Structures are given as C-alpha cells and as structure tokens.
Chain A
Amino acid sequence: MKPFKSLRQKPKEQKQKTERNTTSLQENITYFVEAFHRSDDLKLRILEEGRAVLFYLESLADQAKIQNEFFKPYMKMDDQEVMKFSSGKKVHDRKEIIKLLLKGHSAFAIDGSADMLLFNTTSAFNRSVEEPDNEKVVRGSHEGFIDNLMININLIRKRIENENLVVTFEKLGKLTNTKVALVYLDGVANPQLVDKVKTRLKDISVDFIISPGFIEEFIEDHAYSPFPQMINTERPDKTVANLMEGRVAVLSEGSSTCLMAPATFFAFYQSPDDYNSRWFTGTFIRLIRLFSFIIAIGLPAFYISIVGFHFEVIPKDLVIPVKSSINEIAYPPIIEALVMVIIIELIREAGIRLPTPVGQTIGIVGGLVIGDAIVRAGLVSNFMIIVVALTAIASFVVPSNEMSTTLRLLTFPLIILSATLGFVGIVFGMLLLLIHLSRMESFGTPYFAPLAPLHVKDLKDTFIRLPLFKMNTRPKNAKPIKGKTQATSREWRRDGKNRK
C-alpha cells in the first residue's frame, strides 16, 4: 500500500507494541478521554447525531485549520464518502493517535470503523526571524534561528541548496519527546564524526531535554572542563559556514540555539563579521580578540602580582602615581580585586534580568556612582578600577557568550594564585591552563588545534584571516573527508587577459 514505507522506517528501532482501536465509537472515545486523564482541553465535537466525533486538543489545534481541513470538505460530502478524505491520514493504532493528538492533529472517528482520520491542524506561534540579540553583526545576514525546528532547518537549507545536506531526527527526553535534528553535509563531514554524535545522542536517557544546553552536557567529552566544547550559535550563516567545514549541527525543537561539534578553542574567536569585512580588518579584529583573551584572564592577576610582589617592574614615571593611588587603601590588592570583580558581575547579572530602561539605570548607578564612591571611600584604588573595568570589557569582546563567561570565571583562580605566589603563580596557572587546553579533545578533534598539534596551514584562519581566495583547503579540525574548498579562483588579470 505504501511503497516508501521501508525508507521511512528506522530499521534499528524496535517496534512499539500497538494497541488497535475497536469498532465501537463509544469504547474508543472513552479510551482517549481516559488516556488524557479527562484533561479539559481535549475537545470532543459530536457530529452526525452521535455517530461520529471529531476530537482534538484545543490548546494545540488551530480552529481556522480545522475549519478549512475538515469542516469545509465535510459539509459537501455524504456519510459514505467521509473516510475517503484525501487530506486525512487513516490510523488505527491508539498510541500513534495519542502522539499525533499531542502534536495538534485532530482525529475524526466514526462509529463502526477502527480507523480514525487524522488531520494536521497544528497551530503554530512563531516569533519572526530576527537577528539574535547576543550575536549581532555589522554587515552580513541579519537572520537568526527561532524556536521552531522546521523553520530553522529551512533557514539552513535555503543557504545550502545541495542534496547532500542530510537531516536526521531523533526524539530525546523520555517524557518530553523533544525532536532533535542532526544536520550535516554528506561528503564533507567525516562519517565517523557523524556516527559519534549520533551514538552519543542516542545514549541520552533522561526525562526531559529543554534546550541544547542539556544536550551539550550529555554529549561533550570533558564535562568537568570550564571550556565550552560545542559551538553555540543562533546564526544560520555561522551554522552553514561550520557545516561547510565538516562540522555536525544539532538543533532542537523549541530552542533557537544550534550546537555544533567538534569545537576548537579558536573557533570561539571567529565571527561572521571577520569574513564580511576586508581581510586586513578581519585579521586586525581577530588579533584584538585573541589579545583580549590574555587581558580577560590575566590582567587583574598581573596587576596584583606587581603591587603585591614585584613592584620593581613598574616603569619609573608611573611609580609615584601608582603609589599615590594605592597608598591608603584599607585592604590588600586581592580583596580589592575580588570586590571589584564581584561588583561588576553583580551589575551584569542584574542588568540581564531587568527591562532595558531599568537595566541602563542599574548600569549607570553601578558603573559611575559606585565606581566613583568606592574610590573616594578608599576601598578600591583608581588603578584597580581601571584594571577590572578593562578586564570586564575584554571578556565581552569574545563573540561567544559561553567562552566569555568561562573567561570571567578563570580570572578568579589566577587572582588567587597571583596573590599567593606572584608572577610565579601566574606562570603556574597559565601552565595548567595550557596543559588542560592542549590535552582536551572535542569529538576526536584536539581542542587547541591548530596550535597543539601544530597545523601551520590552518593558521590561515586562526590568528589571522587570509583572503578567501587563499583558503584553498578546509581546516583539518573537523577532519573533513573533502579537503579542497576551491579550484584556483582569480584566474583573470587586471588587463582583461586570462592567465592561462
């Protein structure tokens, strides 16, 4: 009857036990009402003087669609024709019907038939495709993922018109049955990687999955590392770029975040803006961002070491200004730094939750008033304010929110180390950090690549961004099976003659 049935069925999955409808309408309807625990939003509409019933979950179904899909054609038909609706789907398995009802389908049951007709009447409330707030770019695409899985995949497919783009669905969460999509580009993505992600996804056995954040913790390699090991984005263009490099994307229903694996440390420092601007600018901004990494984790520690241990390194002309600034501060520099860092975190956290106008007020009160008063009160020195403010700004330079929070967190251990051991402490801290970064792996890819292990060719898109026509090979990070990205471009000459 259905020629493509074997294609659509997943062979590995065991078939669930089916429970057939009976031919009695009364029995069937009672079954479903009980199955939904007499939930009040299960609406029953008695038709044909009690010989037929249309039922659906009022909260999920769209009234207008019911009108169009069911009632309009229904009115034109007589009883005998009813079961031949072309738009309806005949189902007799009760479990299946429950599943479909939960998606917003409406079921039409008629006395004397075990089959029920199911119409897709799902109501969809989608926010519009807008630019994500936390990943804005100056130039380039201003579309962002929304909370609907199908529209998100649509946004990706629109950008890669290629039959090799594969989407596979998984249901995760034993109670929530969240639909999760695995997207990759066949022929580019490494099959081993795809298998790895699939296996790990299947191994999730938890009651509920709300967002990709849940998935990430279940499938990443090093759950106890502070560093994010999957790229998080709400941008379709970024997703597409990563798919083209051979990465695998994981999207889930009800969330606008897309997860991508494998991730490397330097991937978190790339932004679509780098490629939209000229390559000089892109390189410069990339370097600024990587420099901000050093500032964000090391500057307070460096300053504390200097004023607490090694003040002989202060430049000659700065000695008196620094001395004057910290001379009568009541607390040692570590307390100063911790107070300031915590104040900044408080202001930041308070600002996120509050509506924009109030958030700005908090920013001004926190930044200006507290900042000024705390110096006048002699609790924190001018220089510490400069240092901590610079650190906070540097941590926000990273395009990825996950990496940014990680950086702010890493400041603390380094502050403590520098306050106990000075420069030696910083060296120890950085050493541990480097060891950790170098030995980490994300889905089989070294996390600190292309630095450790060194791939000189891949540095073209790490510290710098070379012109696009120079990027002839894909980065080896994701171990893609197709290396070349282009034949030689720019074969023309400025005088119009061809180079060949």
Chain B
Amino acid sequence: MARFKLLPLVLSLLLLTGCWDQRQFKNVKLVLAAGVDAADEGKVESTVVITNVQSSSEGPGAEQTQIVSAAGHSPLDTRTHIDQKISKRFDQSKLHVLLLGEELAKKDIYAYLDMFYRDPKSNLHAQLAVVGGTVKDALSLSVSGEPRISEYITGMLTGERRSTHMPNTNIQLICSELLEPGQDFVLPYLTVNQEESILEYRGLALFSGQSYSGSYLPSEKAVLFLLMKGIRGADAQMTRKVGGDDHPDVNDFITVDVKEIHRKLSFDTHGSLPKVEIKLKMEADVLEYPPNHLQSAKKIKELEKQIEKDLTKEAKEILGQLQEVNSDALGLGRRLQAYHPKAWKKLNWNEVYADIEINPSITFEIQSHGITN
C-alpha cells in the first residue's frame, strides 16, 4: 500500500532533523540582569549577571551569581567576548533588567537596543533604567537580603511605579517614543551607594530625542510630573508644606494621596508659536495632617488653596526643566500633531519646543480625611 511506503519517509523527515535547533533550557547560562557602559575608543562594555542554580530534588537549589564584563564594538560583539569567558553560552531571553550607563545613555541609545528589537526571542518586557556612574558597579553590588540583583532592581522599580514615581517603562514601550518625533520619554535614574552597598532611586532621567539629556527630574517632583502626564500608580502620595514659618516642624506638613485626576490639554494655535494650557484637577485624600481641623470647610478650602498654589509653582518648575533640556516627555508634540496638524506642519517642533508657552493650572480638592476628623 502506497501510504505505508510513505510512512518511513515522513518519519525520517521528522526524526533525522535531529536536535540542531534545540535550545535546551538546562544548557544555557541564564542572564536575568545586564547592562551596557561606554568604554574607551567608542567601544561599549557589557556586563551580565549570570544566575547559576544548583540542581535539587526538593524546591529550588542554591544560587550562585557570576558577573562577567567584556568590551567590544557593539553589544553583540561584547556578547561574543563574554561567551569566551564562561562555560556554555549565556542567554538573555529571560532578561529582567537592562541598565544603561549614564555616559552611554547620553549617546544614541537606539543603537544599543537594536538587537533586542530584532530578536524575536528577546524579552521586550525587560525593565530599563539609567545608572549614574557605571553599570558594572551597580550590578556588582551585593545587597544584603537580596540574593538576586535583578529581583532587587525590578522590585525597586515596581515599587516606584506603584507609588507613581515612575511610569511603566520597558524596552517595548519606549520603542515608538524613541523613533517618533513629538514625544520623548523618561527612564528611572538610579545611583550606586557604595557605602551602604545599595542602589538608590533618584528620579526620572529626561531623554531628548534618542539620548539622555544629562538632567533628571528628582523623585519628589516625579509624582506631579506623572500626574500631569495622566499617569497614576496604585497610590500617588505627596507631602507638602502648608503654613508654618522658616523653622518648619512636622506639624507644618500635610500628606495627601491623589485619588483621581482629570487632565485637559488645550492648544492655542493662533500665534506664531502655539500656547499650551494644562488643566489638572485632582481629588485627594488626606493621609497625614497632625494639626487636624479638617471638620471645618473653611480650613479645608484654605488648605486646598495653599496646596494648589504650591503645586502650580512646582509644575512650572518641572515644565521649565523639561523645556530647558528640550525633552518633550509630556508628549505635547504628538498631541499637537494629532489635533492641529496644520500648525504642526508649519513648525519644527524640536526647535520651537523650548520656546513655547506652557501654562499649568491646577485645581486641588480634598475629598476625605480618613476616619478621624
């Protein structure tokens, strides 16, 4: 019968392919955290953290970390050099964190991310962060109580994201913002504290085009910046000084959690340069206010006014800083392009962005003040 003659053919087709394209999970060196630094002569230096686990019949075995760096002309070139220093080959497809050295980030970072966008196996959900100092130092830290540096950094970034100190960023999410005009992005900025052997979250590194502008938004201002961008994590907590004199004590401060935001961006395109108005309405809960006279509507109005004033001032500072480093992290350009295409075509957004007028106006409303009055 003809079909039985075909059977060995089909079987051999399947069986003789062998295992040449297998990637055995047990044979790879797992890299969960990696980073790139700028090196001399235009080279780059990659550092990878290889997590080796021992086999165990009961639960996960003991882990050992191996940190390897190598310099090369490109990220993939360094990869070859790293492979020459380790047993087997390393694999980045489960990468959790990718760190960019400050010096390197000031150049065009797309060049260092290109390999991730091309390879279908790469983890585009890996978190990105800029490190003040070198990545090598950051990844070499041994943080007590945190056996895996990748878990430490992702945990830290997740925490900051939940408390509205940074937006959700990963290799995938910044892709369009890297390539499109009219929108820039921010990345978390970390510094190494060698004395305490920890990393510290500093704020948001402001990018202009495809490179780091060299200035970052401190984490105190990050909350308001993100609220202006329309992003809110699990909670958005702000502590502001209300009242008191030049010698502030704990009673002069109020801590609020912004529960809801209503943002409105409007453009006035009548002049030669567009004017932007950002209207932001916030509704918040009071979390902490020791003087406590919150049963009176008058007192609440007073507090609201004061906070509004304070926040508006701060918003202006933030926008000033953004314009100074020419980083359109709020995406105003894209908004203009979408709603006022005629105005957009007339402008060279990159050049005029620094000069346009942006007016923030913030309304603040206290909604509740906890279970005490």
The closest CB in chain A to the CB of B19 belongs to: A332
Question: Which interface class (under 10, 10 to 19, 20 to 34, 35 or more) fits A?
Answer: 20 to 34
Q: Are A307 and B59 in contact (CB under 8 A)?
A: no
Known: A324-B54, A326-B26. A311 touches B94 (CB 8 A): yes
Chain B contacts with A in 296-319, Cβ cutoff 8 A? none
Known: A320-B63, A321-B60. A311 touches B53 (CB 8 A): no
Question: Which interface class (under 10, 10 to 19, 20 to 34, 35 or more) fits B?
Answer: 20 to 34
Q: Are A327 and B22 in contact (CB under 8 A)?
A: no
Q: Are B94 and A314 in contact (CB under 8 A)?
A: yes
Tell me, yes or no, whether A23 is within 8 Å of chain B by CB.
no
Chain B contacts with A in 268-288, Cβ cutoff 8 A? none
Instruction: Say which residue of A329, A332, A416 sits within 8 Å of B15 (CB atoms).
Output: A416
Tell me, yes or no, whether B30 is within 8 Å of chain A by CB.
yes
The closest CB in chain B to the CB of A429 belongs to: B14
Tell me, yes or no, whether A347 is within 8 Å of chain B by CB.
no
Q: Are A324 and B26 in contact (CB under 8 A)?
A: no
Q: Closest approach, in angstroms, between the C-beta of B303 and any C-beta of chain A?
A: 43
Chain A contacts with B in 369-387, Cβ cutoff 8 A? 375-376, 378, 382
**A-B pairs under 8 A by CB, number:** 88
In the complex, what residues of A have CB within 8 A of residue B28's CB? 311
Tell me, yes or no, whether A189 is within 8 Å of chain B by CB.
no
In the complex, what residues of A have CB within 8 A of residue B53's CB? 320, 323-324, 327
In the complex, what residues of A have CB within 8 A of residue B346's CB? none
Q: Are A375 and B14 in contact (CB under 8 A)?
A: no
Known: A314-B94, A320-B51, A417-B14. A308 touches B56 (CB 8 A): no
Cα-based distance from A333 to B18 in the complex (angstroms): 14
Known: A319-B30, A324-B60. A378 touches B22 (CB 8 A): no
The closest CB in chain B to the CB of A321 belongs to: B60
Cα-based distance from A361 to B344 in the complex (angstroms): 81
Q: Closest approach, in angstroms, between the C-beta of B265 and any C-beta of chain A?
A: 36
Max chain A C-beta neighbours (<10 A), residue from B22, B32, B60, B94: B22
Tell me, yes or no, whether B93 is within 8 Å of chain A by CB.
yes
In the complex, what residues of B have CB within 8 A of residue A375's CB? 57
Known: A316-B94, A323-B30. A308 touches B55 (CB 8 A): no
Tell me, yes or no, whether A409 is within 8 Å of chain B by CB.
no
Max chain B C-beta neighbours (<10 A), residue from A311, A326, A416, A422: A311
Q: Closest approach, in angstroms, between the C-beta of B259 and any C-beta of chain A?
A: 30
Tell me, yes or no, whether B214 is within 8 Å of chain A by CB.
no
In the complex, what residues of A have CB within 8 A of residue B24's CB? 307-308, 332-333
In the complex, what residues of B have CB within 8 A of residue A325's CB? 55-56, 60
Write the B221-250 contact mask toward A (1 if CB under 8 angstroms, else 0).
Answer: 000000000000000000000000000000
Q: Are A312 and B93 in contact (CB under 8 A)?
A: yes
The B interface is mostly helix, strand or loop, or mixed, namely loop
Cα-based distance from A325 to B25 in the complex (angstroms): 11
Cα-based distance from A312 to B21 in the complex (angstroms): 15
Cα-based distance from A425 to B22 in the complex (angstroms): 12
Instruction: Say which residue of A309, A316, A327, A417 sits within 8 Å of B55 (CB atoms).
Output: A327
Cα-based distance from A333 to B54 in the complex (angstroms): 18
Cα-based distance from A316 to B154 in the complex (angstroms): 11
Q: Are B17 and A420 in contact (CB under 8 A)?
A: yes
Tell me, yes or no, whether B123 is within 8 Å of chain A by CB.
yes
In the complex, what residues of A have CB within 8 A of residue B54's CB? 324, 327-328
Tell me, yes or no, whether B61 is within 8 Å of chain A by CB.
yes
Instruction: Say which residue of B22, B94, B121 sits within 8 Å of A308 (CB atoms).
Output: B22
Tell me, yes or no, whether A47 is within 8 Å of chain B by CB.
no
Q: Are B57 and A382 in contact (CB under 8 A)?
A: yes
Q: Closest approach, in angstroms, between the C-beta of A474 and any C-beta of chain B?
A: 37
Instruction: Say which residue of A308, A320, A420 sits within 8 Å of B60 (CB atoms).
Output: A320
Instruction: Say which residue of B15, B25, B51 sits within 8 Å of A326 (CB atoms).
Output: B25
Cα-based distance from A227 to B122 in the complex (angstroms): 41
Q: Closest approach, in angstroms, between the C-beta of B14 and any C-beta of chain A?
A: 5
Tell me, yes or no, whether B345 is within 8 Å of chain A by CB.
no
The closest CB in chain A to the CB of B28 belongs to: A311
Known: A312-B123, A422-B22. 15 other contacts (CB 8 A): A308-B24, A311-B28, A316-B96, A320-B30, A321-B60, A324-B54, A324-B56, A324-B60, A327-B53, A327-B61, A328-B55, A332-B22, A382-B57, A420-B19, A425-B14
Top 3 A-B pairs ranked by shortest CB distance?
A: A328-B55, A312-B93, A324-B53
Q: Sample 23 A-B pairs with CB under 8 A, ordered by A number.
A: A307-B24, A309-B21, A309-B23, A311-B94, A312-B122, A316-B96, A320-B53, A321-B60, A323-B26, A323-B51, A324-B56, A324-B59, A325-B60, A326-B25, A327-B54, A327-B61, A332-B22, A378-B55, A417-B14, A419-B19, A420-B15, A420-B18, A422-B22
